[in-house]
Amino acid sequence: MLAVANVARRGTGFGAPTPVEIDLAETVVDAFSSIEKVRLVTSGTEAVMTAIRIARAATGRSRIIKFNGCYHGHSDGLLVRAGSGAATFAVPDSAGVPTAISECTSVVEYNDLEGFAAALGADPPAAAVVIEPIAANMGVVPPQPSFLEGLIRHAHDAGALVIFDEVISGFRVARGGAQELYGLAADLTCLGKIIGGGLPVAAVGGRAELMDLLAPLGPVYQAGTLAGNPIACTAGRETIRLLGDDAYRALEERGAALESGLLDAIREAGKKACVQRVGSLLTVFFGIESARDFLEASAADTESFGRFFRAMIDEGINLPPSQYEAWFLSLAHGEADIEAIVEAARRSLRSLDS
């Protein structure tokens, strides 16, 4: 907070790059081996929107492919839901989205490599696939072994680019996000949330030849008056400086401890539920044994989750209010906090029978 206060005294925005903006950009490039250049924006929505615009310019194609249950912001082409088949065009999921725009998007099921290959084979050819490498907007749904590797291979064979939306996973599951965790490289990467340290800044980055398509070097327009402002960039830089190897070891240990404690509590209560976790991200799904995609996640018992959520509120534990939102552990959560959450869950699970 002191660093943010100090930079705010010198000005909140200058309409030109500042040293701290360059510092943050260099930090991002250093963390992600797939990123050679980066453009700062103000939100994850903008980051994904810009990545798609770059991909369309690079390939000369318009259609994109996304996965059912993955959220990539509120731009028109991504506020869509699945059509009647794995490779069909999507239909609008929000008022105000023209059908003509939604028809540029195909939606398939997460972890379904065969369905994705079918979507790639449809006409017109796809410019890009955009995916959460660790799905966290249908609850936490990890990628199945070899799914992401196969996705990248199929996309490149079809001449399409791969966009990883790491707004949630970036700097959270590892310093280099899911790409470091799984040893992968996307063509374009979208980041947000953590790189702002609580203030609004996000980024899109990738190979130099793709990023050079952005104006003023290239023909792809992007602009934002407050993008890369010194206050948000300072908060992000100072936050990322705290995220060394020790931090990620601690987050993994605390995540594992919470997962183990919750599973014990579920077994003791005799409930049908599962815990799905990657690092410090996790979700408790009620009524199912696992979820590999949105269809399986949507079969969860939301009524039981709602009762559990209200019981946990009464215990002083504020969970995300939806069955389909991820729980986020942070470095502020110590061992005593984990134990308190588990004990509250144990009592809350028992109360579901009353």
**Whether the predicted pLDDT of 354 surpasses 70:** no
**Whether the predicted pLDDT of 63 surpasses 80:** yes
122 with 269, same domain? Answer: no
CATH of the domain at 75: 3.40.640.10
SS3 203: strand
199 with 321, same domain? Answer: no
216 with 258, same domain? Answer: no
Last residue of a domain, one of 209, 241, 273: 241
Average pLDDT over residues 326-339: 96
> Are the CB atoms for 75 and 104 separated by under 8 Å?
no
60 with 169, same domain? Answer: yes
Q: What is the pLDDT at residue 55?
A: 98
Q: What is the pLDDT at residue 89?
A: 53
**Whether the predicted pLDDT of 86 surpasses 50:** no
Last residue of a domain, one of 205, 222, 241: 241
Report the number of distinct structural domains present in the chain.
Answer: 2
132 with 57, same domain? Answer: yes
SS3 292: coil
Per the listing, tokens 């500042």 go with: 18
Average pLDDT over residues 201-212: 98
**Whether the predicted pLDDT of 84 surpasses 80:** no
Cα separation, 256 vs 351, in Å, equals: 25
158 with 294, same domain? Answer: no
- Tell me how far CA of residue 267 lies from CA of 5, 132, 216, 217, 260, in angstroms: 48, 31, 58, 58, 11
Q: Which two tokens stand for residue 47?
A: 């980051």
Q: What is the pLDDT at residue 16?
A: 80
Per-residue pLDDT of 147-181, as tens digits, reads 999 999 999 999 999 999 999 999 999 999 999 99
Q: What is the pLDDT at residue 90?
A: 62
161 with 112, same domain? Answer: yes
> Are the CB atoms for 104 and 64 separated by under 8 Å?
yes
140 with 83, same domain? Answer: yes
Instruction: Provide the percentage of residues in the chain whose pLDDT is more than 90.
Output: 82
SS3 202: strand
CATH of the domain at 335: 3.90.1150.10
> Are the CB atoms for 188 and 166 separated by under 8 Å?
no
| Cis check: omega of the bond before 124, within 30 degrees of 0 | yes
DSSP string, 234-263: HHHHHHHHT-SHHHHHHHHHHHHHHHHHHH
- Global pTM reads 0.94
Full domain range(s) for residue 229:
2-241
235 with 278, same domain? Answer: no
Tell me how far the alpha carbon of residue 315 is from its chain's centroid.
29
Last residue of a domain, one of 241, 263, 292: 241
Active site residues: 71, 165, 193
Cα separation, 130 vs 89, in Å, equals: 15
200 with 300, same domain? Answer: no
198 with 279, same domain? Answer: no
212 with 301, same domain? Answer: no
Q: What is the pLDDT at residue 83?
A: 43
